[in-house]
Structure formats: structure tokens, C-alpha cells
Homo-oligomer: A and B are copies of this chain.
Amino acid sequence: MAASLELQTPQQHSSSPVSTASSAISMEGTVLCSANHAPLTPISFLERTALVYPDRLAIVASDGSAGGVARTWRETRARCLRLAAALTGRLGVQRHDVVAVFAQNIPAVCELHFGVPMAGAVICTLNSRLDAAMAAVLLRHSEAKVVFVDRALLGVAQKALVLVAEAGARRPVLVLISELLDDEPSLASDAKIKVTRVDYEYEHLLSAAAAGSSPDFAIRWPADENEPIALNYTSGTTSRPKGVIYSHRGAYLSSLAAVIVNAMAETPVYLWTVPMFHCNGWCLVWGVAAQGGTNVCVRRVTAAAIFDSVARHGVTHMGGAPTVLSMIVNATAEEQRPMALLAPGGRRRVTVMTGGAPPPPQVLFRMEEHGFLVIHSYGLTETYGPATVCTWKPEWDALPAAERAQIKSRQGLHHVGLEAADVKDPATMRSVPADGRTVGEVMLRGNTVMSGYYKDGGATAEALAGGWLRSGDLAVREEDGYIKILDRSKDIIISGGENISTVEVEAVLFGHPAVEEAAVVGRPDEYWGETPCAFVKLRGGGGGATAAEELMAFCRARLPRYMAPRTVVVVEEELPKTATGKVQKVALRERAKAMGSLPAAASSSSRRAPTGTAGSGRSKL
């Protein structure tokens, strides 16, 4: 254990003689030195956990036995140091260079979250569902010096690098992560991988660094905690990528807030159903390390994988967009394993943080029945993931299920790591009253708000104008102060001068037992400007005009007339989604537009005597 004593700690200030701090901020006798001041950084989490929990599992993948990955925190730290040594040595990475990662949720991505910052560099995890063209755009925009590529994505990455080179930009060094999981064919037998275009292989790089005669790599601690640690591209357009910059300070504080909000006691077991490329896994790649937890990696998020992981590894926490929740509640009897069976006494509960969209009430009910505790949070890439949480109060436990679901579907209030979440009139910057009616824009402020958009001072200034991050989400404040989001400002439907929250219409649709997926967008309407158009997937497929008619009637019975969809399209395939499980409303809006405007006569009359326009209900996406 002598090695444990060599753990490193940051030293921002000279250690001797101690320097006296500015008298303006201090009382006589105050000093700032390395004894009492260290830049906040998630690197410290790994250093401490490797000392406290050296033998505890840090990362497992597959079943953790033959062929699978099962590494302790001691091993993980050693590998991260080797990775940092390879980056700064062989790969010549300098401070603040961008190192890209293009991978699914595999063990190496956990390591890269520490190894890259330890090299003083900035980790940029790319969405694993990018196509080559978009990946090329982001690699160029980020000016990544190195890109670590999951073997499952090598083909796309190689195409992207060709595009980068064709555009005359510097081609990043490609490091292939070829580590196998149990259920994968071996690399050697995979003829599709053109290894000739691979510069390095991950494990070889680490082995070479270990074989070097030099002692432990000296961590490049940030000199200032506001230095960048990560770059996260939002799902922007190819013409103007938005690269959100995270600082070491923000990442540290956001990680601790995530630990507290998720009620993560020591040594949690975290199942990676949230993509690690998404806000650095809502900062939990770092947060799990802070608590000496175990990361359970799965390539494919399926109901079976979730229930299996809970059974095998004793998962305590996970997260995901409502799609992941739907996956759990719609699991077949074969896939499901009631939590009560997994833990004698039925006490085990898995805490699931959800976000991205409000979970439909039906989904919440069924999650509870399955033994999952759902925490509803809301956030943006610009807030390091979760920014608000619908903090649950004990007095709500006794309410009827429908009311509980209603309460929990709200976005709530800012977590402990943020200073404020407010709903404001974006023009006057005045807070809206807590009346549940007055609509404003959600605005956020605090240490877990991004440093800015990379190379886009204009967009940064716009987003942070007035001293608040403007979310672009429209919301009200309910009487208990909790924030309830109505819609993205760009998603709101304006029909005859009335604002319609597509989220509210969707919530009603989800209340219909046959509905599995639903999304509402505006469709051009000659009379009303636009009217709600719903795209719906039914349980077990099927549909047609009858189903569409029934759903329209269902909504009219439960919503003000002007809010009920005037078009319902029943589709047989899944709705198009982003990598993080959000429905791509842009695609649906284009589809609604392509249907053409609803004629004025039909529309204006149907507000009184609705007949529906279910003709398009047979369309497929």
C-alpha cells in the first residue's frame, strides 16, 4: 500500500513562505497557500477514491467474468495516469488541447474522463449516433488533436477523418479502443475494420506508457479552477455547432450536487443508461468516483440489460430520458424481474433520475410499481446536465397516484449546486408571479452554468445576457414555487393567438392506455395559423383512421377545444429521436408542414363540430 501514499494533490499556491492574502478580502492573519487552497477539480475525486477504496470495483462491463471488464479503483487510477502519460508524451497533447471521444458507454470512456483532464487537456465526448459528416464538422470545429474511437464506431470515424482531411483541416490522431465485451465478436475476425487507418490502439498505448521507465506521471493540475475540462456539443446544426465549455470548478460542484440530489450514499452502483457523452453523463462519471462507486457499462440499453444489471451487480442508481423509463415499464414478462425478487425482503430500490422531457404519469405509476424511485430533473447541456429537481416532499406521499404523478411531472427548483432558477419575462427580466398561469422563460444562474460556447462569443453573450442563462424553455411558476415547463419556446404552438403547450397535449395523449409514444407539433392551418398535430405510436403497432378519431375525441374530452389536436397521425415505427432519447420535433414539424395547411372551412367549423382530419392517420414516418 506504499503506492497509496504517492497520490498527488494540486498545489496552486507556493507552499513556502506562505503569502498573505489581499487585505481587502481578509482579516489579519489570513493567507492563501497550498495548505488551504486547491483548485476544485474532479481529478481530486479519483485521487481520494483510489486511496480510500483501492480494491473496490470501479468499472464493470458485461458479467465481469471471463472476457468482461472488472477493474478496481487502484487499477483505474493507474490506467488513467498511464493514459495521461501517453497523451502528453507520445501524442504530444498540450494544456487545453481538445481530445475527442467517439464511443458508446464502454469502460474506456470512464477512464478518459480522468486521464484527459490529468493531461491538462479538454475532453470532448461526441454523440455516438453522429454520422460521418456531422462528426467531421465537430472534429474540425473543436480542433481535436486526438480522437479515441470505439471499435463499434470505427467505420463512421474513419469516414469522418477522410472528410476532415478533404476539407484541408488537420486530421486528429486516431486511437482505436478495441477492448471487447463478452457479447462481441473478436476484433481479429472483424474484417470490416481497416486497421491500417488506425494510428494507435488504446491498450497498446497504455502498456507502452506503463513500460516506460519513468515514475508515475505528474498530473497537470489546473492552475485555476476556471480552466476548461470538457467541451460538449449540443444537438445544433452543422452550420453553427454549439460547443459548451465546462470548467473544473463547475464540474466539481456539479458532481457533488449530483451525488446529493441522487441521494447517493457511499459506494453506489451506477448503471450507465445515460450516455456518457451527454453532459459527461450528467457529471456522474465524476460523481460516482467521488463516492467510491461502481460504474456498470452496457453497450445496448434494453430492458433485459437493465434488469440483468440490477440482478448481477446490485445497481442502486441509474438515469435516463423517459424512453428509458418506457423501456422498463414496457418490458416483457420474460425481461422483467420484479425488484422484490432481486432483494430478499423487497427492500431494494433503484433510484432513477429522469430528464429531457417530463415523464408521462402512466410511466411514473408503473415505475413505482416495479420498485423504481423516479427523480425528475430538468437541465440543459449548458447547465452540466440537471439544473432543477422536482424535490419530493413527504406530505405528498399520501396523495392519489394521479396527483402524485402530476406533481412529479414538474421541473421543480434548482439543486444545491446552482444559485437560482427563475421564470422571467425575457424582455423586462422581471420574475413572473407564482400563479401557475403567467408564462415566462426559465432562467438559471450559478457555478454550474457553462463557461461559454467555444469560439462563439456572440452566442455566449446572447445566452448569458443580463446575468442569467436563458434556457429557451417557457414555463410557469406554480403556487408552491415549483417551475412547470410548458414547452421549448420554439415548440410552442400559436393557434389563433393562443399559446398551446405541446407538452400538455402530449401528457393527455399518454393518458390513453393504447398510446406508447406521442409527440405534438404545429401544423399550418389556413384559419388558425397553426393547430396541434399529434404523431402517435400505439402499443403493439396498428392504428389507422379509427384510432386517430378516437384519440382526437379523447383529447377533446380532456382539453380546452383549441388545444385538442386537429390532426392525429398514427405511425407504426418509433418516433425519430435524438441520441439522448428526445423526440426530434424538427423532423415531425417538417412532416406536418408537408401535409399542407388544413383548409380554413374545415378548421373553423370543426372547433364547434369537430369531425377530425384523420385521413392522414395512416401515414408512416
Q: Is the CB of A445 within 8 A of B9?
A: yes
The chain B residue sitting closest to A225, CB to CB, is B25
Q: Is the CB of A263 within 8 A of B260?
A: no
Any B CB within 8 A of the CB of A36: yes
Residue in contact with A266 in the complex, picked from B15, B21, B391, CB distance below 8 Å: B391
Complex-state Cα separation, A47 to B419, whole angstroms: 9
Q: Is the CB of A290 within 8 A of B416?
A: yes
Task: Please encode chain A, from 1 to 26, with 1 for each CB lying within 8 Å of some chain B CB and 0 for all others.
Answer: 11011110111010111101100011
Any B CB within 8 A of the CB of A469: yes
Complex-state Cα separation, A374 to B4, whole angstroms: 26
Q: Is the CB of B228 within 8 A of A122?
A: no
Any B CB within 8 A of the CB of A256: yes
- Contacts A1-B434, A9-B420, A451-B21; A35 near B457 (Cβ below 8 A): no
The chain B residue sitting closest to A226, CB to CB, is B25
Scoring A51, A52, A444 by chain B CB atoms within 10 A of each residue's CB, the highest score goes to A52
Across-interface contacts of A4 in B (CB, < 8 A): 434, 481
Across-interface contacts of A44 in B (CB, < 8 A): 419
Residue in contact with A250 in the complex, picked from B36, B413, B422, B481, CB distance below 8 Å: B36
Complex-state Cα separation, A46 to B2, whole angstroms: 43
- Contacts A2-B433, A29-B460, A40-B447; A51 near B481 (Cβ below 8 A): yes
Complex-state Cα separation, A10 to B420, whole angstroms: 10
- Contacts A449-B36, A468-B35; A457 near B9 (Cβ below 8 A): no
Any B CB within 8 A of the CB of A369: no
Scoring A21, A45, A291 by chain B CB atoms within 10 A of each residue's CB, the highest score goes to A21
Any B CB within 8 A of the CB of A48: yes
**Nearest Cβ in chain B — how far from A414, in angstroms?**
7
Q: Is the CB of B481 within 8 A of A26?
A: no
Across-interface contacts of A15 in B (CB, < 8 A): 466-468
Complex-state Cα separation, A435 to B4, whole angstroms: 12
The chain B residue sitting closest to A32, CB to CB, is B226
Any B CB within 8 A of the CB of A30: yes
List CB contacts (< 8 Å) of A153-180 with chain B: none
Complex-state Cα separation, A552 to B45, whole angstroms: 47
Across-interface contacts of A468 in B (CB, < 8 A): 15, 35
Any B CB within 8 A of the CB of A589: no
- Contacts A4-B434, A434-B5, A447-B38; A48 near B18 (Cβ below 8 A): no
| 11 pairs from A and B in contact (CB 8 Å cutoff) | A4-B434, A9-B419, A27-B96, A27-B451, A27-B452, A28-B457, A29-B455, A31-B451, A31-B460, A40-B253, A266-B391
Residues of A participating in the B interface, judged by any CB pair closer than 8 Å: 1-2, 4-7, 9-11, 13, 15-18, 20-21, 25-38, 40, 44-45, 47-48, 51-54, 56, 96, 122, 222-224, 226-228, 231, 243, 245, 250, 253, 256, 259-260, 263, 265-267, 290-292, 391, 393-394, 412-414, 416, 419-420, 422, 431-434, 444-447, 449-457, 460-461, 464-469, 477, 479-481
Question: 4 closest Cβ contacts across the A-B interface?
Answer: A15-B467, A36-B449, A34-B467, A35-B464
